Structure 1
């Protein structure tokens, strides 16, 4: 049952970071191990997507329902696929230096083999994923012009 929570101060606005995380269809372009993303439905408040992740010899597709609480929170609820459960929450809090981002993920695979395989690389994988979002922000929005901006990464 890998669980990870972290908080980072990132030198972009909550709206900018919210938009990056909410752009699930672009994940294969920059997110490690995300090999495919298909948006099945989308409204202003919610989207349903199939994501295919691959690591080593494993490839798994899962469906999630993503609640978009603009601009402060994104909640991911698992619907179908290889997990027993998956909970993921992003929270974006304004800060004079940018945005305080809280990230939480908790999941368990149905397969012991998959669970054991991901357990070996889980913490490093989550760090790489969060860093990929920070790099995507830089690539998309450029260097932040916010005075006193700080990026911990």
Structure 2
């Protein structure tokens, strides 16, 4: 991507920031409507989780039930879900480097206060994860990610088992169950369309233990997910060479 195109893209994102209900918000829909992106359609359903407002925050991971047939194999009975696909003007390798750098999430992901990764040895202690090693490429990396998310005075911490599969262009995370939720699984899949264009598929499936938190997540997941994806887009612009 040329430097002039990067500057134009950066200005477009900066100019897309607006005030919404008294809160600063940059959503993927606003960027799309600016004419910069040729994005595929969004299928509502359920990364960095929380209490009250935290129940709707997670950068690894509503609206209505997920109706995307391609994601049904990852859902459990009772799960809610959210899926979204978008085409971005960056190479697959560049976008993959942003999504897979979990340790840096605290620097740019909304509401992520702290992100820490642990060794593959620690990750191997959680064989109950539905993420099967034989489903990943031979060179896929596996580790635990401990994320702390917060909003105001509210804060929540959870740990996910993460598989980073560069060959398949996938980053999949499944949270270790906590009293807050029974299940939380997110995935990013990046497919190259051309040297400087990629399709990004984002999925998150979850089941909260508390029905109140589940209702909160349903009401706000689309907006929160759009803000999160927008943060990854801006990060891609900032780190483009």
TM-score bracket for this pair, using the shorter chain length: 0.7 to 0.9
Unaligned ranges ≥5, structure 1: 143-153
Number of the residue aligned with 2:184: 86
Structure 2 distance, partners of 1:86, 1:2, is 10
Task: Give, in angstroms, the shift of residue 15 of structure 1.
Answer: 1.1
Number of the residue aligned with 2:101: 23
Q: Which moved more, 1:87-96 or 1:117-126?
A: 117-126
Task: Give, in angstroms, the shift of residue 12 of structure 1.
Answer: 1.0
| 1:24-103 correspondence to structure 2 within 5 Å | 24-42=102-120, 45-71=141-167, 72-81=169-178, 82-96=180-194, 97-103=196-202
Instruction: Compute the RMSD of aligned alpha carbons.
Output: 1.9
Structure 1 distance, partners of 2:84, 2:212, is 27
Structure 1 pair 59–115 and aligned structure 2 pair: CA distance change class (3 A): farther
Structure 1 pair 54–118 and aligned structure 2 pair: CA distance change class (3 A): farther
Unaligned ranges ≥5, structure 2: 1-78, 122-139
Computing the radius of gyration over CA atoms, which structure comes out larger, 1 or 2?
Answer: 2
Matched residue SS, 2:107: helix
Aligned length: 142
- Indicate if the aligned counterparts of 2:191 and 2:200 stay in contact, CA closer than 8 A: yes
Query: Is 1:106 the counterpart of 2:205 in the alignment?
Result: yes
TM-score by length of 2: 0.54
TM-score by length of 1: 0.83
Higher relative contact order (CA 8 A, sep 6+): 1
Query: Is 1:136 the counterpart of 2:136 in the alignment?
Result: no
Structure 2 distance, partners of 1:58, 1:122, is 18
- Indicate if the aligned counterparts of 1:89 and 1:105 stay in contact, CA closer than 8 A: yes
Stretches (4+) displaced over 4 A: none
- Indicate if the aligned counterparts of 1:32 and 1:132 stay in contact, CA closer than 8 A: yes
Structure 2 distance, partners of 1:105, 1:89, is 7
